[in-house]
Homo-oligomer: A and B are copies of this chain.
Amino acid sequence: MTDNTLTIREMCDTYDVTPRTLRFYESKELLFPIREGQKRLFTKRDRARLKLILRGKRFGFSLEQIRQLLDLYDAGDQQQVQLERTYELARERLADMELQRDELNQAIDDLTEQLKWGERIITPSKQNKKAAE
């Protein structure tokens, strides 16, 4: 029981995912729970990987990209070249995200302006402004 592995349900509760999701990730070779008979037991490694998966998703990586990153990460003592490649990818992604954030801020400002504009139309009781075009 205290052997440091978690059942699928415990995983779900801990990380707020569904069983289906965990099985799906296993089928995609993102996780490798061991089997005790039929049942899956998720090790510490699986938990670490799941955390990375979930974070990766927040970053906007696809599961396939995440798998590749995990593989590289896993091969910790591999070629520097590959590691560098990994960080290169990550930096590209980061640049993307920053760009996206800036555009998003712009859009937020735009929309905020629109809303101010709209309130001037709405609040005066029943003013019609048909002549617009």
Contacts and interface: CB of A to CB of B under 8 A. Distances in A.
Interface of A: 55-56, 58-60, 69, 72-73, 76-77, 80, 83-84, 86-87, 90-91, 93-94, 97-98, 100-101, 103-108, 110-112, 114-115, 118-119, 121-122, 126, 128-130, 132
The main secondary structure of chain A at its interface with chain B is helix
Contact of A107 (B58, B86, B87): B58
A128 B58 contact: no
A54 B119 CA distance: 22
Contact of A87 (B101, B119, B130): B119
A81 B6 CA distance: 50
A81 to B, nearest CB: 10
B104 A100 contact: yes
Contact of A90 (B60, B83, B104, B114): B114
A98 B107 contact: no
A121 B80 CA distance: 9
A80 to B, nearest CB: 6
Contacts of A107: 55-56, 58-60, 97
